[in-house]
Structure 1
Amino acid sequence: MSLQQKTISGIFWTFSQQFSVQLINFIVQIVLARLLLPSEFGLIAMLTVFIGIGNSLMDSGLTTSLIRTGEPDQRDYSTVFFMNLIGSAVVYAILFLTAPFIALFYKQDLLTNIIRVYMISIIIRGFVGVQTARLTKEMNFRIQMLMQIPSVIIGGIVGIVLARAGYGVWSLVWMELTQSFLFTIQHWFRTGWYPEWIIDKEKLKHHFKFGYKITLSGLLNTLFNNIYNLVIGKYFSATQLGFYNRADMIRMLPVQNVSTALNKVTYPMFAAIQNDNVKLKMAYKKLMLQVIFWITPAMIFLGIIAEPLFRFLLTEKWLPIVPYFRILCVSAALYPLQVYNLNILYVKGRSDLFLRLEIIKKIIIALGILCSLPFGIYGLLYVQIVISVISFYINTFYSGRMIDYSIKEQVRDIIPTFVLAIAIGFIAYYLDHFAVSYLRANDIFRIAGIGLAYLGIYLCAGYYLRMPAITDFRQLILKK
C-alpha cells in the first residue's frame, strides 16, 4: 500500500475512532452532568495537571521516538516498554506520597484518597504505550478503534450506574479505571506483540536523546495547558472550576478531535517525507486549509447557540457556563494550526528548538495569568485569546522557515476562511435573534434550524468562491 493510500485509510479509521469514541464519551458526560454537581467535576479537574505530568514522565518521549525511527526492532520496543513500566511505577509512587500535600494546596481533604485511587490508571497505561506506538507507526487505526469503543462504552456504563447509586465524584474515578484497564487488556490479546526481557543501553540512549527533550516540552505543555484548572481551583471555588472545565471540554470537542485524529495520521506521514520540503509543504498546506475550513465555522456556530445548547443538554443548573464557553470558542479556532506547525519541528528532528519555543510560550502564559488574575476569572479567559494568537505566530514563524512556508503566506491562505466564517456567523446570529424574538422558537429548533442555515450558506458560499478546501475535499471524496 502506498503512502497516500495508507494516509487516506488512516484518516478514515482514525476519524472513525476519534469521533465514535468521543460521541460515546460525550453522551456519557452529558448523562453524568445531569446526575452530578459542577463541584464534583471540579474536583477531578483539579487533578488534570498531575495526570498529564504523570503521563509525560512515564512515557519520557520514548514512544514518539519509536514512531520516528525508521526500522525499530524488538530490542527497541522491549527497551522502551520496560522503561515506560518503570517510569509509571515511579510516577505513581511520587503522586501517592504527595497526595496529602496536593489536597492541602486546594484545601480539599477528599482529594488525597481520590488521587491515590485515580492515579492507578498511570500504571495501567504503562503496559500499553509501546503497543499503541506500533499500531500508530503502521497506521493501523482500525484495530485501535475496535479496542477503544468497548472500553469507553463499558467504562461509561460503570460511571453512570455508580452516579445514579449516589457515589458522586467516585463514579468518575471508577469510570476512568475501568476504561484504562479494558483498553490495556485488549491490546495484550489483539496486537500480537509481547516484550522480551531486554533493556538495551544503546537503544535506550538513542531514544532518550530524542525523547527527553520531548518529555521536557511535554511537561511544560501539560503544566500550562492545565494551568487554568490549577489557578481556578486554587483561587476560586470547585463549582466555578467545574463550569470552566466543562466549557473547555465541550469547546475542545470538535477542535481536539479533529486535531488528535489528524495528528495520529500526519505525524507518521510527515515523517515519511521529511526530507522532501516541497511535498512536506504541499501536504501541510492542504491539511491546514482543510482543518481551518471546518473548525472555524464550527466554533463560531457553537458560540452563537451556546445558551440553548447547554440548557437542552445539561439543564438550567449549568447555564453559568455560557459566557465562559463563548470566550473560549474564540481561542479554540487557532489550536489546530499550532499542533501541525509543531509536527514539522518533530519530523525535522528539531526537538531542541521545540523545547526552546515551548519555554518562551510558557513564560508568556505565566505573565498573562499574573497580569489577568486581578481581573477575576474573565480576565483569565480573555488572556487565552491573546496567548493563542502569540503562540500561533511563534510556532508558524520557525516551522514555516523549515519548509519555505512563511507566516505571511500562511496567514494569507487562511484569512479568506476566517472572513467567510465570521460573515456567515453574523447572518446566523441575527437569524437566531429573529427566531427568539418573533417565532418564539424552542431550543431544539434554534439549534437545528440555525445549524442547517449556517452550514448551508457557508458551504454554498465556499463552493461559489472556489475555496481550495472545498476543491481538495471533493477530490478526496472522489479519490482523484
Structure 2
Amino acid sequence: MSGLLWTFIQQFSIQLIGFGVTVILARILLPEEFGLIAMLTVFISMGNTLLDSGLASSLIRSSDLTQKDYSTVFFFNLGGSILIYWIVYFVAPIIASFYNHEVLTLILRIYAIGFIINAFYSVQNARLTKEMNFKIQMTIQIPSVLIGGILGVFLALNGFGVWSLVWMNLFQSFLSTILHWIYSGWRPSLIFNKVSFKKHFNFGYKMTLIGLMDLLYKNIYTLIIGKYYSVVQLGFYSRAESLSQLPISNISAVINKVTYPVFASIVDDNDRLKSVYKMLMQQVLFWNAPILIFLAMIGEPLFTFLFTEKWIAAVPYFQILCLSGIMYPLHSYNLNILKVKGRPDLLLKLETIKKSICIIGILCIIPFGIYGLLYFQLFFNFLSYYINSIYSGKLIGYPISEQIADITPTFVTSLIIGILCYMVDTMFLKTFSLFNITRIVINGLFFFILYLGSSTLLKLTPILDFKQLILKR
C-alpha cells in the first residue's frame, strides 16, 4: 500500500503537470506540429526499448545482486545507446521519406540524443524500483517534468514551433539523469562481467522482443494514420490518444510498477498471489472503467474547454479510445504473473500470437478509414485481455471464467450509469447552452455520486475491499 501510494502521487503529479503543459502547448501550437512528433514516437520508443534490452527487468526480479551485476548492465546500456543513436541517425532520411516530410530527418536526429542521456540513469532507476523506493523516484521525476515543461512553453511562445516539443523532452531526460545520480546513491564501477551479462541477457532479450512487439502494437495506428492519412488527422488522433491515456497510463504505471516487485516477493505462494492479483484486478477496473466512460461522455465540452474549437474534430476519436482503454490496464498488468513466474518464453509466444492477429486485422481495416482502425482497436483490447488472462490465470489457479465473473458487476454498473448520464446531458444540460465547464462539473457530480452510491448499495466487492484497505472499516 505504501508503494502504491507513493507511486500514485508520483504518477498523478507528473501527469497533472504534463497535462497542464500539454493544454498550454495545444493552444499555442498547431495540430500538424503535434502530428510531426507523433510520427516519430514509435521510432523513439523502439530505441528506448532496445536500449534497455530487458536487463532492467532482470535486475528487479533477481536476488543476491552485486556491484558487478549493476555495473555490467550499466555499461552495456551505455554502449548500446550510442550504437542505437548512430543507427537512427543514418536511417532518419528513410523515415522522413516514408512519411513524405523531409523536416523529420533533423528532428529525429536531435530527438534521438535522448537515447544516450537515458542510458545514464536506467540502472539507478531499476535499483530504486527493486527497493520499492518510490518516494525518491517521485522527488526526481516531478521537478524534471515541471522544469522541462516550463522550457517547452517558453520556446513555444517564442516561435520555436515543433522544436519546443523536442527540446522540452530532451531537457526533461537530462535533468532526470542529473537527479538520479544525486539521489540514487549508486555509482557504477569499471566492471563488465560476462557471467552476469549472460544471466541477465538470457532473461532480458525475450523481454525486449516482447516489448518491441507491444510497442509496435501501441504505435501501429500512428504509423498507419501518418502514412495513409493526413498529418492533421494524426495530430487529432495524437491529442485524443494523449488525453484518453491520462487515466490509463496513471493507473497502468502505478499498478505495473508496484505489482512486479510485489508479485516477485510472493511468487512461490500461489494462494496469496491469486488473492493479491484478484483484489488488484477488481480495484483497477472499479476506478478505471467509470473514469474513462465519464470522459467519453463529456468529450465535446472537455475538448472545447481545454483546447479550443480547433481540436473539436478529435472528439469522436477520443470517445472511442476511452472505451478502448477500459481493459488495457488489466491485460497489461496481468502479464506480470508470467514475468515473475519466469516464463518469458510463454509471454513471447502470447505476444507473437496477439500482435500477428493485430497486424492482419489492421491491414484488412485500412480501406475502411480511420474509424475502422479505432473500432478495431476497441475490439482488440478486449480480445487481448481474454487471451492474457487465460494463461496468467492457469499459473495461479484463477480461470478466465472466474475472472470475468469477478469484474462483470463493476463493468455493467459503470456502463449503465454512463449511458444514463449521457442521456441526461444530451436531453437537458446541452439544450440549456451552459458553459462547458459547468456541464463538465454537473455531469461529474451526477455521475460519480450515482456510481459510488450504486456500488455501495449493491455491495460490490471492490468498494468493500477499498473501505477495508484504506478506510479501515
- What band does the TM-score fall into relative to the shorter chain? over 0.9
Alpha-carbon separation, structure 2, partners of 1:438 and 1:147 = 47
Query: Aligned to 1:81, which of 63, 74, 78?
Result: 74
How far did 1:479 drift? 4.6
Alpha-carbon separation, structure 2, partners of 1:101 and 1:9 = 47
Deviation string 1:177-207 (CA, Å, 9 cap, x unpaired) is 1100000001111111000001110000000
State whether residues 75 and 198 of structure 1, in contact with CA within 8 Å, keep that contact through their aligned partners in structure 2: yes
Deviation string 1:368-405 (CA, Å, 9 cap, x unpaired) is 11111000111111111121122111101111000010
Query: Aligned to 1:92, which of 81, 85, 98?
Result: 85
Alpha-carbon separation, structure 1, partners of 2:430 and 2:161 = 40
How far did 1:256 drift? 1.3
Query: Aligned to 2:117, which of 94, 100, 124?
Result: 124
Indicate the residue corresponding to 2:337 in structure 1. 344
Query: Aligned to 2:254, which of 246, 255, 261?
Result: 261
Alpha-carbon separation, structure 2, partners of 1:190 and 1:336 = 30
Indicate the residue corresponding to 1:470 in structure 2. 463
1:93-112 to structure 2, matched below 5 A, reads 93-112=86-105
Matched, 1:373 2:356: no
1:13-162 to structure 2, matched below 5 A, reads 13-162=6-155
Alpha-carbon separation, structure 1, partners of 2:472 and 2:456 = 19
Indicate the residue corresponding to 1:203 in structure 2. 196
Comparing 19-28 with 430-439, greater Cα deviation is found at 430-439
TM-score (norm 1): 0.97
Alpha-carbon separation, structure 2, partners of 1:435 and 1:119 = 50
How far did 1:430 drift? 1.8
How far did 1:438 drift? 4.5
Indicate the residue corresponding to 1:461 in structure 2. 454
Q: Which amino acid aligns with 2:329?
A: P
How far did 1:439 drift? 2.9
Indicate the residue corresponding to 1:353 in structure 2. 346
Alpha-carbon separation, structure 2, partners of 1:168 and 1:120 = 19
Alpha-carbon separation, structure 2, partners of 1:447 and 1:71 = 52
Deviation string 1:408-432 (CA, Å, 9 cap, x unpaired) is 0000011101110011112211221
Deviation string 1:229-248 (CA, Å, 9 cap, x unpaired) is 11111111111101001111
Q: Which amino acid aligns with 1:143?
A: I
Q: Which amino acid aligns with 1:13?
A: W
State whether residues 73 and 197 of structure 2, in contact with CA within 8 Å, keep that contact through their aligned partners in structure 1: yes
Alpha-carbon separation, structure 2, partners of 1:374 and 1:440 = 38
Matched, 1:406 2:399: yes
Alpha-carbon separation, structure 1, partners of 2:70 and 2:57 = 12
Query: SS state of the match for residue 150, structure 1?
Result: helix
Deviation string 1:239-271 (CA, Å, 9 cap, x unpaired) is 110100111111111011111012111100000
Indicate the residue corresponding to 2:185 in structure 1. 192
State whether residues 292 and 333 of structure 1, in contact with CA within 8 Å, keep that contact through their aligned partners in structure 2: yes
State whether residues 335 and 388 of structure 1, in contact with CA within 8 Å, keep that contact through their aligned partners in structure 2: yes
State whether residues 331 and 385 of structure 1, in contact with CA within 8 Å, keep that contact through their aligned partners in structure 2: yes
Alpha-carbon separation, structure 2, partners of 1:327 and 1:434 = 21
Alpha-carbon separation, structure 2, partners of 1:82 and 1:151 = 24
Indicate the residue corresponding to 1:392 in structure 2. 385
Comparing 309-318 with 82-91, greater Cα deviation is found at 82-91
How far did 1:435 drift? 3.3
Matched, 1:183 2:176: yes
Matched, 1:325 2:318: yes
Query: SS state of the match for residue 47, structure 1?
Result: helix
Query: SS state of the match for residue 160, structure 2?
Result: coil
Alpha-carbon separation, structure 1, partners of 2:232 and 2:297 = 24
State whether residues 255 and 333 of structure 2, in contact with CA within 8 Å, keep that contact through their aligned partners in structure 1: no
Query: SS state of the match for residue 200, structure 2?
Result: helix
Comparing 172-181 with 427-436, greater Cα deviation is found at 427-436
Q: Give 5+ residue unaligned stretches, structure 1.
A: 1-7
How far did 1:72 drift? 1.1
Alpha-carbon separation, structure 1, partners of 2:432 and 2:60 = 55
Alpha-carbon separation, structure 2, partners of 1:186 and 1:437 = 48
1:192-341 to structure 2, matched below 5 A, reads 192-341=185-334
Matched, 1:12 2:12: no
Query: SS state of the match for residue 217, structure 1?
Result: helix
State whether residues 52 and 223 of structure 1, in contact with CA within 8 Å, keep that contact through their aligned partners in structure 2: no
Alpha-carbon separation, structure 1, partners of 2:24 and 2:139 = 23
State whether residues 297 and 421 of structure 1, in contact with CA within 8 Å, keep that contact through their aligned partners in structure 2: yes
Indicate the residue corresponding to 1:419 in structure 2. 412
Alpha-carbon separation, structure 1, partners of 2:168 and 2:283 = 35
State whether residues 296 and 319 of structure 2, in contact with CA within 8 Å, keep that contact through their aligned partners in structure 1: yes
Identity %: 57
Deviation string 1:38-80 (CA, Å, 9 cap, x unpaired) is 0100000001110111011111000000000012111110000
Deviation string 1:157-191 (CA, Å, 9 cap, x unpaired) is 11001101111000000000110000000111111
Alpha-carbon separation, structure 2, partners of 1:28 and 1:117 = 21
Alpha-carbon separation, structure 2, partners of 1:421 and 1:14 = 26
TM-score (norm 2): 0.99
Q: Give 5+ residue unaligned stretches, structure 2.
A: none
Query: SS state of the match for residue 320, structure 1?
Result: helix
Q: Which amino acid aligns with 2:295?
A: L
Comparing 280-289 with 424-433, greater Cα deviation is found at 424-433
Indicate the residue corresponding to 1:435 in structure 2. 428
Query: SS state of the match for residue 195, structure 1?
Result: coil
Query: SS state of the match for residue 46, structure 1?
Result: helix
Query: SS state of the match for residue 268, structure 2?
Result: coil
Indicate the residue corresponding to 1:448 in structure 2. 441
Q: Which amino acid aligns with 1:172?
A: L
- Please report the RMSD computed on the Cα atoms of aligned residues, expressed in angstroms: 0.9
State whether residues 148 and 168 of structure 2, in contact with CA within 8 Å, keep that contact through their aligned partners in structure 1: yes
Alpha-carbon separation, structure 2, partners of 1:461 and 1:287 = 21
How far did 1:446 drift? 0.7
How far did 1:340 drift? 1.9
